[in-house]
Structure 1
Amino acid sequence: MDILSETIAAIRTGNPTSGMFVRRAPWGRRYPVVPGGGFHVILHGSCWLLPPGGEAVALGVGDVLLMPRGADHDLADSLDSAIVETARPGEPRDIPGPGARTVLLCGAYELGRQRSHPILDELPEFIHLPARPGRHPGLHAVVELLAGEVAEPRPGTDAAIPGLLDTLLLYALRAWFEEQADGSGWAGAFTDPAVAAVLRIIHEFPERAWTVPELAAAAGVSRATLARRFTATVGEPPLSYVTRWRMLTAARLLRESDVSLASLARRVGYQSEFAFAKAFKREYGLAPGQYRRAEEKPAVIAV
């Protein structure tokens, strides 16, 4: 069971979107907050990230900028350029101007709107992955493939782009966790053998009535050791995470399948549809059937 892949699959909703944008200096652009995650990749030229209340960050060719929670921000060709545009759906992809050209590959992901996951909650608002020689070659290979498909659509492009966008997200997160040298948080959860083992069995068998002694035995450590290391890295105790994963799995099944509520309840560890519905409403604020109907209406995200 691949913990990162399963986690992203559980919180991803709808279809990712992307587009290539050409800007010529001088330009300054505002990106409002989006209900999900977003990214920018610099394909040509350079620009500056201007986060609200933070220091400006220089972005160069090949750099990847990920906004895990869709934070609002500005981009500009220069620190002296005024912010005169706001991103909106359906706008021109190529805006002329007298100065140097910057080409951006921008995209957005729909993520669970009601219930998040600690793997995203602990991430910074902005993840900057500079294009350093020899670092994260897989990430930059995906960027090249995606840029090619967006720039020159060919037979199969419509099928290729969503898969490449999902791969880009996974590779960007993988790169970020690999760069966390202190091993804290979820970077530590992936590398701690006991915590990783427990996460895998929780993800694979959410229907099991897990106890801390059972989880500790599966990890080969004491109950106290598991509780301490799991909480320190994952951000909550093991059984709290069991409940969180059950609810995320249930939400995914409601979005992606027509499985009956009685069957779904059993698949996430509840003996009755009533008990499951009560637990789900407590977490999401909606009954399971209401949630399923609401998720049939996709969000509109500008890129």
Structure 2
Amino acid sequence: MDVLSDAVAAMRIGRPHSARRDKYAPWGVRFAQSDKAGFHVVLRGSAWLIPATGEPLALAPGDVVFLPHGQEHALASGLDAPLPEVRFLPDGTWSKPPPAGPTDGPSAGPSDGPSDGPPSGCPDTVTLCGTYLLDRSRAHRLLAELPEVVHLPARVGTHRSLRAAVELLGMELEENQPGTDAIVTSLLDTLLLYILRAWWQSEREAGRLRGWAAALADPAVAAALRAIHRDPAHPWTVGELGTTGGLSRAAFARRFAALVGEPPLTYLTWWRMTTAGRLLRHDDLSLRQVAERTGYTSEFAFAKAFKREYGEAPGRYRRSAGHRA
């Protein structure tokens, strides 16, 4: 199994949302702190990303920014633009901020409607924005260790898959053809993985990989992680996991703990419980089947371990999981 894909799947809930916006200067919108992850892409023109902490970031055409922790931020045509607040709705969509004037158009100030200006004429900026609903209670450290703002500037020849996904998503949102809803949802899931992959590749090339990101670049630790994710039900030992990467038990244990931040079997238990939670939310398996798929020989042992991790019995967790999914 692909560890990155699994880490995202463990946290992703609900349905992602995205919108394409035409902007006529001056414009600006502010996003409050949220438990959602969000992204912005400048398709045309330019913009400023203004985080709650840190320096403003000038964005050029093709630039992608990802805010994995839902930090408060603004997007604007200039640093002096007014910033009406966008409010997220429970399903992950966001409301249109109130207009600054009596009518839409360049003189009316900022808006976040489908077109922030007159129906004719070329907009100054076109943006693509989106949100992902995440279960922060099961935050995988690979994502938890990401910076507040991930900036992927457009450079010729770099991150071609990411650029292709952005272009396809932009076209689908602009054209709204039959099948667009399903295609957009799939493209948004794909885009998230491309963003994370592009960040990881950029950090690796710059020699800045740390923690979990570095673990994926370490042959021995990455081999063990793939083994755990491929078969979490297997009765892994530290020595057996070390063998997958060609290291002795002691050398492997030290390297794994240094990069991942916890011992191998501690991570194995965490991943088993995370997998169990996902199975209980999304599959119709019996508790015995969930126990078997996560490495427990009895339903009783599984239920005891699950309650210790989640604070409630697996059956109750499944019944109350409707609002989480």
Answer yes or no: is the 8 Å Cα contact 1:13–1:112 preserved in 2: yes
Please give the per-residue CA displacement for 1:65-108, whole angstroms capped at 9, x wherever unaligned: 11112222111110111222324434333233799632221111
Number of equivalenced pairs: 299
Change (3 A) 1:154 1:192: same
Structure 1 counterpart of 2:36:
36
Change (3 A) 1:290 1:25: farther
Structure with bigger RCO (C-alpha 8 Å, 6+ apart)? 1
Secondary structure of the residue aligned to 1:179 is: helix
Answer yes or no: is the 8 Å Cα contact 1:14–1:110 preserved in 2: yes
Q: Distance in 2 between matches of 1:136 and 1:8?
A: 19
Secondary structure of the residue aligned to 1:140 is: helix
Q: Which amino acid in structure 1 is aligned with residue 238 of structure 2?
A: V
- Output aligned runs, 1:258-297, within 5 Å: 258-297=284-323
Q: Which amino acid in structure 1 is aligned with residue 115 of structure 2?
A: D
1:208 aligns with 2:234: yes
Answer yes or no: is the 8 Å Cα contact 1:115–1:283 preserved in 2: no
1:114 aligns with 2:137: yes
Change (3 A) 1:154 1:168: same
Secondary structure of the residue aligned to 2:138 is: coil
User: In terms of mean alpha carbon deviation, does 141-150 or 70-79 score higher?
Assistant: 70-79
Q: Which amino acid in structure 1 is aligned with residue 116 of structure 2?
A: I
Structure 2 counterpart of 1:158:
181
Q: Distance in 1 between matches of 2:196 and 2:171?
A: 22
User: In terms of mean alpha carbon deviation, does 260-269 or 91-100 score higher?
Assistant: 91-100
Please give the per-residue CA displacement for 1:140-177, whole angstroms capped at 9, x wherever unaligned: 01000000001101122122111111111111101111
Query: Structure 1 residue 202: deviation in Å?
Result: 0.4
1:147 aligns with 2:173: no
- Output aligned runs, 1:66-105, within 5 Å: 66-88=66-88, 89-91=94-96, 92-96=113-117, 101-105=124-128
Structure 1 counterpart of 2:268:
242
Secondary structure of the residue aligned to 1:62 is: coil
Q: Which amino acid in structure 2 is aligned with residue 65 of structure 1?
A: V
Answer yes or no: is the 8 Å Cα contact 1:178–1:187 preserved in 2: no
Change (3 A) 1:177 1:230: same
Query: Structure 1 residue 43: deviation in Å?
Result: 1.2
Change (3 A) 1:294 1:30: farther
Q: Distance in 2 between matches of 1:43 and 1:298?
A: 33
Structure 2 counterpart of 1:52:
52
Structure 1 stretches lacking a partner, 5+ long = none
Structure 2 counterpart of 1:135:
158
Query: Structure 2 length as normaliser, TM-score?
Result: 0.86
Q: Distance in 1 between matches of 2:161 and 2:122?
A: 33
Q: Which amino acid in structure 1 is aligned with residue 164 of structure 2?
A: A
Q: Distance in 2 between matches of 1:74 and 1:52?
A: 8
Identity of aligned residues (%): 54
Query: Structure 1 residue 191: deviation in Å?
Result: 2.1
Q: Which amino acid in structure 2 is aligned with residue 204 of structure 1?
A: R
Structure 1 counterpart of 2:225:
199
Q: Distance in 2 between matches of 1:20 and 1:221?
A: 50
Q: Distance in 2 between matches of 1:28 and 1:267?
A: 49
1:173 aligns with 2:199: no
Query: Structure 1 residue 56: deviation in Å?
Result: 0.6
Change (3 A) 1:157 1:275: same
Secondary structure of the residue aligned to 1:296 is: helix
Q: Which has the larger radius of gyration?
A: 2
RMSD of aligned C-alpha atoms? 2.0
Answer yes or no: is the 8 Å Cα contact 1:29–1:87 preserved in 2: no
Secondary structure of the residue aligned to 1:155 is: coil
Query: Structure 1 length as normaliser, TM-score?
Result: 0.92
Q: Distance in 2 between matches of 1:222 and 1:114?
A: 34
Answer yes or no: is the 8 Å Cα contact 1:47–1:78 preserved in 2: yes
Q: Distance in 2 between matches of 1:296 and 1:83?
A: 35
Moved over 4 A (4+): 97-100
